Structure 1
Amino acid sequence: MTLALVSHVTCYFGARNYPGKRVAADPPPARGWTRKWRGARARPHRPVNQREPGVAMGTLRALALARAMRNPGGPRRLRLRPGLGLRPGVQDWNEVLMETVNVLQHGQVVAVPTDTIYGITCLAQNSEAIQRIYEIKGRTADKPLAISVGNVEAIYKYCKVTVSDQVLRDLLPGPVTLVFKRSDDLNKDLNPFTDLVGVRIPKHPFMQKLAQLCGEPLALTSANVSSHTSTLTPEEFKDIWPLLGLVVDGGPIGDMTDPECRLGSTVVNLATPGKYSIIRPGCRILWTNLWVVTACVPLSGLTQKTAIELDDWADCM
């Protein structure tokens, strides 16, 4: 008797149809809603808030985990050498940056370090990648994602700025998410339920350079299952590794014994001209309040208003 051994080689980065890699064949099409969800060939893509109403986000995450079983070893993990930054001649960071850009451009989700906590990111203009983030986090479709850009100039393209350029430069880069009304240039599948968007420029050279190299905003949220504790090391979110295309390890962030370090960025609402509010206090709330009082108020004449919908922005970075 001759036994035929059929080997399936799983893509190392977890990306389907990744160039130069062989991937395991898809299982036979399933019946019902699962078949509809599996690919755009069966049904055109729809924004996340227009998915079948009877399907819970827990079901989406279970399906995502089932897909991830094709890559049981998890994604590749690239470590940044601490203290080297992006100085000329340091190849480690440049190689990690180029690999991260490559994985993002293939529609995958990547774990990254920031100046506050670890996050997961994808290209904000890629609707399918945005859906993957919601699946990974098990997050309801009415919770917004922030965007991360590489410099202050990019904010004007994707947001309707209500404050002076000096205020933006005083607050960013830093541990702050500024909420403005979105512009028409931003992907309509990103937070389609609101005309607002939070924008970040993390004070982390890797994140700034990554957004610049991608040439478009990054959708950014915390690297954890929704409603779980924020993470300060890659090991703390190891349960979602199989769902990621790449893990960029920047080492521990902040003081792991201090609960305040897990609060993420301070979210400031600047959408209404002449008004501001602290939507969510973050890990550097005293620093942020100081800048709001000393920068926003004198330069723009802003007055404080009531904070809005704190829980909606609970997973911001």
Structure 2
Amino acid sequence: MKSVCSFATELFKSRRVHCSAAVCRLQTDMCKELKTPVLRLLPPTCNGPSVENNLTDGAEILRCTVKALKEGRVVAVPTDTIYGLACLAQNSEAIRRTYDIKGRNGQKPLAICVGEIQDIYRYCKVKVKKELLGDLLPGPVTLVFERSDVLNADLNPFTSLVGVRIPGHAFMRRLCQMCGEPLALTSANISSQTSTVEVHEFQELWPKLAVVVDGGPIGGQSRLGSTVVDLSVLGKYRIIRPGCALASTVDVLERKYGLSVQLKE
């Protein structure tokens, strides 16, 4: 039996194609035909996936996805809540492309996704204890802080705030680590449509994407997305979106750290 950290790679095209050892070498004719590779991760065992010690196939998928991101392209990825579209947050053209693909209102923000808690301090002005970050992340929570000057000014230029995620998903964490910079992240669906928990549900977007990473059906398939909480005001919190982890998040904020609800102005 293969190790739980191994991945299988499959390329789905209009005709059957056998996977090569170098998955990340996207064929020129595929680009011309606007065929998008769908790279499938092996289902995790009860112990969960482990990317840190992955075998060749997993590394190929990661390298392929990183390559596409570094080229300024948009990819689809699994998270711990729903499927997402991702691009490099510091690449302004990639951000514009993401909005175009989704048909998203330009006044609606994109979150950023990083691999480690210490990365948050580079792109956000954090006003809570580091222990609080560790209690909520990685996990299905998006924390909103005041943005730092390091973050691309073209990302959400209409607000001084930014939401940041560290999904509890081994592939996503490793992807962020390998990119070495934040990913802009939004749900993988046409704007105003239902969030997706399987790749076939956003198949109409595939031709516009560089890579689709298929992690299989996601979690409890609640489609609620992450819980979004504003922590930009010292000692206060404000729930922006209840999401799938509201009760546990509020419990941590109030019981353990004594934060109070920020009243609406």
Normalization by structure 2: what TM-score?
0.85
* 2:101 paired with 1:136: yes
* 2:40 paired with 1:79: yes
Verify the 8 A CA contact 1:277 1:305 in the aligned structure 2: yes
Return the alpha-carbon distance in structure 2 between the equivalents of residues 19 and 270 of structure 1: 42
Partner of 1:98: 63
Verify the 8 A CA contact 2:25 2:64 in the aligned structure 1: no
Partner of 1:40: none
Return the alpha-carbon distance in structure 2 between the equivalents of residues 103 and 296 of structure 1: 41
Verify the 8 A CA contact 1:278 1:307 in the aligned structure 2: no
Within the candidate set 228, 239, 243, 2:208 is matched to 243
Within the candidate set 271, 295, 303, 2:232 is matched to 271
Larger Rg: 1
Partner of 2:13: none
Return the alpha-carbon distance in structure 2 between the equivalents of residues 170 and 78 of structure 1: 32
Change (3 A) 1:89 1:284: closer
Letter in 2 for 1:282: G
CA deviation profile, 1:127-163 (whole Å, cap 9, x unmatched): 0000010001101110000000000000000000010
Verify the 8 A CA contact 2:254 2:260 in the aligned structure 1: no
Normalization by structure 1: what TM-score?
0.71
Question: In the TM superposition, what is the alpha-carbon distance from 1:19 to its structure 2 partner?
Answer: 8.8
Return the alpha-carbon distance in structure 1 between the equivalents of residues 87 and 249 of structure 2: 27
Partner of 1:123: 88
How well do the aligned residues superpose, as a CA RMSD in angstroms? 2.1
Identity %: 56
SS of aligned partner of 1:88: coil
Q: How does 1:60-209 map to 2 (within 5 A)?
A: 71-73=33-35, 75-83=36-44, 84-86=49-51, 88=53, 90-209=55-174
Question: In the TM superposition, what is the alpha-carbon distance from 1:279 to its structure 2 partner?
Answer: 1.0
Return the alpha-carbon distance in structure 2 between the equivalents of residues 159 and 87 of structure 1: 26
Partner of 2:185: 220
SS of aligned partner of 1:262: coil
Question: In the TM superposition, what is the alpha-carbon distance from 1:78 to its structure 2 partner?
Answer: 0.3
Return the alpha-carbon distance in structure 2 between the equivalents of residues 92 and 293 of structure 1: 43
Partner of 1:39: none
Letter in 2 for 1:277: R
CA deviation profile, 1:273-306 (whole Å, cap 9, x unmatched): 1211111100122222222223332xxxx22113
Unmatched 5+ stretches in structure 2: 1-23
Letter in 1 for 2:40: R
Verify the 8 A CA contact 1:77 1:249 in the aligned structure 2: yes
Compare the two structures and name the one with the higher helix fraction: 1
Question: In the TM superposition, what is the alpha-carbon distance from 1:110 to its structure 2 partner?
Answer: 0.4
SS of aligned partner of 1:81: coil
Partner of 2:18: none
